[in-house]
Structure 1
Amino acid sequence: IVGFVMFLIVRSYNKIRKPAEEAPAGPSQEDLLAEIRDLLKK
């Protein structure tokens, strides 16, 4: 019974945590490399 309760707690914690991690998605690595390349060309 205790193991089942722990499983439910961990599962609900992961559901809450995942959307928060995906929200602050910054520029991709390719975008950053292209920006650095453009700055070096100047």
Structure 2
Amino acid sequence: MARGILISIFLVTTFFANYNPLILCNYHHLLVSIAGINKSILFQ
């Protein structure tokens, strides 16, 4: 079940990568920002 969800996410991400690199770029930047914020909260 979980594997199917992961494959779906991967396919959607690949679709956006092919058709709109800008969205993918912003999405990646957002993930990095969230990770950075979480890290700074954890290590305060």
TM-score by length of structure 2 reads: 0.47
The structure with the larger Rg is 1
More helix per residue: 2
What TM-score, normalized by structure 1, do the two folds share?
Answer: 0.49
* Higher-RCO chain (CA-CA 8 Å, sequence separation at least 6): 2
